[in-house]
Amino acid sequence: MTVPRLLIVGPQGSGKGTQGVRIAEALGIPAVSTGDVFRANVQAGTPLGQQVKAIIDAGDLVPDSLTGEIVRDRLAQDDAAGGFLLDGYPRNLGQVGDLDEFLTGRGEALTAVIELAVPREESIERLSLRAAEQGRADDNAESIAKRLAIYESETAPILDLYRERGIVDEIDGVGSLDEITERIRAALSARGIAF
């Protein structure tokens, strides 16, 4: 069986966090979300967490170098030896290079990139609904548009690179949770990753 070293990519509101957790649990591998790893390090008060907290408190983005360090540390843990699912990293070409270097050094490579394709209008509708349900101040029209624009400008090039490598599975991200999970399962199964 192919070792599932996966990346899930999609615009905000595409459901990648939900689908990522479902797939990782079904495969028995950790879902590594950079946001979750940042929060865990901040909460635990680790040296990395203290750096991240200072950056976020200043209203800045965590730099690629620090993000890469945190992801490498997480992927080096025992539970990721049999595979992993990345969510939120890499999100630009610099981070792809960093991840490639780390994996190559271990004799590994990503086995599949799951792209959840969701029309922009659908993402905006889902995020607006989430804002109303969860009271999330960061899900306002202006910040949603800004995040989607960043996704479109920074993440599209990484998908092109992974398409050249032949590892992208574009999944229709519109439908019920189970329908979308089934589409992902079928695509991964075709790559020898069964669950």
In a domain, 101, yes or no: yes
| Annotation marks residue 136 as catalytic | yes
Question: What's the number of domains the chain is made of?
Answer: 1
Residue 63 lies in a domain: no
Report the chain's mean pLDDT, rounded to a whole number.
90
**CB-based contact 20:85 (threshold 8 Å):** yes
Distance CA(145)–CA(131), nearest Å, equals 14
Distance CA 18, CA 10 (A): 12
Catalytic residue among 53, 72, 147, 185: 147
Note whether residue 103 is domain-resident.
yes
Active site annotation includes 120 = no
- pLDDT of 139 > 70? The answer is no
Mean pLDDT of 29-47: 89
Residue 89 lies inside a defined structural domain of this protein: yes
- The one catalytic residue in 5, 16, 22, 183 is 16
- CA neighbor of 56 nearest in space, from 48, 7, 111, 30: 48
Q: Which residue has tokens 């879902």?
A: 31
In this predicted structure, what is the pLDDT of residue 155?
Answer: 87
Mean pLDDT of 153-167: 94
Q: What is the CATH number of the domain that holds 107?
A: 3.40.50.300
Q: Is residue 47 part of a domain?
A: no
Instruction: Write out the residue range of the structural domain in which residue 134 sits.
Output: 5-30+85-190
Residue 54 lies in a domain: no
Residue 68 in domain = no
Confidence check: pLDDT of 138 > 70: no
130 assigned to active site: yes
Cα–Cα dist 125/135, whole Å: 15
Looking at residue 136, what is its pLDDT? 66
Q: Is the pLDDT reported for residue 115 higher than 90? A: yes
Nearest-CA neighbor of 170 among 181, 182, 184?
184
**Is a pLDDT exceeding 70 seen at residue 37?**
yes
- Strands 168-172, 31-33: pairing is unpaired
Instruction: Report yes or no on whether pTM surpasses 0.85.
Output: yes
Q: Which has the higher per-residue pLDDT, 156 or 188?
A: 188
pLDDT value, residue 92:
92
